[in-house]
């Protein structure tokens, strides 16, 4: 009886154990990365802290992976690739191949320009670290408005009715005065009048990118990323130029001057024409359950041919006002020669 009881106890003990845990694989063969954070006993080293993100876990690791991808993108040269059989002779020249780098597209939304991230974008444009910028109409207007009047820090909980009665508009926890938008309209309308005159007398066709370049030139303010884009001949594409406060001004101007024509162009799918991007980093808080383009996992873009299947895209689920400046600090900003 005793032996039977012991065997019964043994069987009832082994069964649940086998279902709860399994024998682990040989870790040396799996090549797993050990999780470890930054040791502040080493003192404060920003670059070392950012490097530690890759082994920290969760979204810190995603940001660490994004940093690695961007650094790979910045380091790439055409000389890393073997020339194709049908490659023209001039493209086989080693000096030429060493000079060819990645063409970098940066996409930003208007809320980032409303925030202090505008200064990070301006830094990239000032130092020619981006080849193409894509933004919304708000991303254009907010940059120009900030040249005319400041944006202030507020609070997410400030009541809308009270703010409206006092002449404020709220963007998250940021505040913009109604006077700012009036100043913007007063500033831009004479420019639109001049553009209309040039269209009539010089047959100028105003595409959105030409409009944006003109506004960047006219604002003539080094705090503006559009100023630096215009100065450095970096194209800024805004397919939905007639949206937001800029669209309001364009509509108002069209009532009295209906002949100003702005041609429409789109670049969102530009990389499909070359079989997808070689590198891709997304930073946003959008989720994919609603089928939105911004919330989609990068692998969805692979299915559309927007990102190459051989690429290693990274999505960082984080407020871009936190993650993007850190990403720039660990990538683009490192190349600036401070002694120059």
The catalytic residue among 146, 153, 210, 306 is 306
Helix axes 137-148, 117-126, angle to 10 degrees: 100
Around 160, how many Cα atoms within 13 Å sit in the side-chain half-sphere? 2
Nearest to 241 by CA among 203, 270, 212: 212
> Residue 129 in contact with residue 104, Cβ under 8 Å?
yes
> Residue 234 in contact with residue 212, Cβ under 8 Å?
no
Nearest to 66 by CA among 338, 322, 279, 289: 279
CA 136/CA 237 separation, integer angstroms? 8
Angle at 232 between CA 325 and CA 181, to 5 degrees: 65
Three-state secondary-structure class, residue 244: helix
CA 127/CA 232 separation, integer angstroms? 9
Angle at 135 between CA 129 and CA 136, to 5 degrees: 165
Question: Backbone phi, then psi, for 123, in 5-degree steps?
Answer: -60, -45
> Residue 238 in contact with residue 208, Cβ under 8 Å?
yes
Three-state secondary-structure class, residue 169: strand
Placement of tokens 């105003």 in the chain:
206
Is 51 assigned a catalytic role?
no
Q: Can you list the alpha helix ranges (DSSP code H) found in 149-243? A: 160-165, 178-202, 208-219, 225-231
Beta bridge partners of 175: 152, 170
Active site residues: 306
């Amino acid at each position: 009886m005793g032996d039977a009881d012991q065997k019964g106890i043994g069987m009832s003990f082994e069964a649940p154990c086998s279902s709860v845990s399994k024998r682990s694989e040989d870790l040396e063969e799996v090549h797993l990365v050990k999780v470890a954070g930054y040791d502040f006993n080493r003192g404060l080293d920003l670059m070392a802290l950012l490097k530690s993100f890759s082994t920290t876990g969760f979204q810190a690791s995603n940001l660490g992976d994004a940093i690695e991808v961007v650094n790979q993108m910045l380091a790439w040269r055409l000389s890393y690739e073997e020339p194709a059989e049908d490659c023209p002779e001039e493209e086989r020249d080693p000096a030429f191949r060493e000079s060819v780098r990645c063409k970098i597209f940066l996409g930003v939304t208007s809320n980032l320009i409303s925030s202090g991230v505008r200064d990070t974008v301006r830094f990239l444009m000032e130092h020619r670290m981006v080849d193409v910028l894509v933004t919304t109409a708000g991303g254009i207007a907010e940059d120009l408005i900030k040249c005319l009047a400041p944006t202030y820090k507020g609070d997410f909980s400030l009541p809308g009715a009270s703010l409206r009665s006092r002449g404020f508009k709220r963007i998250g926890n940021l505040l913009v005065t109604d006077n700012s938008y009036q100043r913007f309209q007063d500033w831009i309308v004479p420019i639109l009048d001049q553009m209309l005159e040039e269209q009539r007398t010089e047959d100028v066709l105003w595409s959105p990118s030409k409009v944006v370049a003109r506004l960047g030139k006219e604002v003539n303010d080094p705090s503006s990323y559009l100023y630096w884009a215009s100065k450095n001949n970096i194209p800024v594409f805004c397919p939905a130029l007639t949206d937001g406060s800029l669209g309001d001004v364009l509509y108002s101007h069209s009532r009295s001057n209906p002949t100003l024509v702005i041609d429409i162009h789109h670049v969102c799918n530009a990389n499909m024409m070359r079989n997808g991007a070689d590198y891709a980093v997304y930073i946003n808080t959008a989720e994919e359950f609603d089928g939105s383009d911004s919330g989609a996992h990068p692998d969805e873009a692979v299915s559309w041919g927007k990102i190459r299947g051989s690429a290693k895209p990274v999505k960082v689920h984080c407020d871009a006002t936190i993650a993007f400046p850190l990403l720039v600090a660990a990538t683009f900003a490192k190349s600036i020669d401070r002694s120059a």
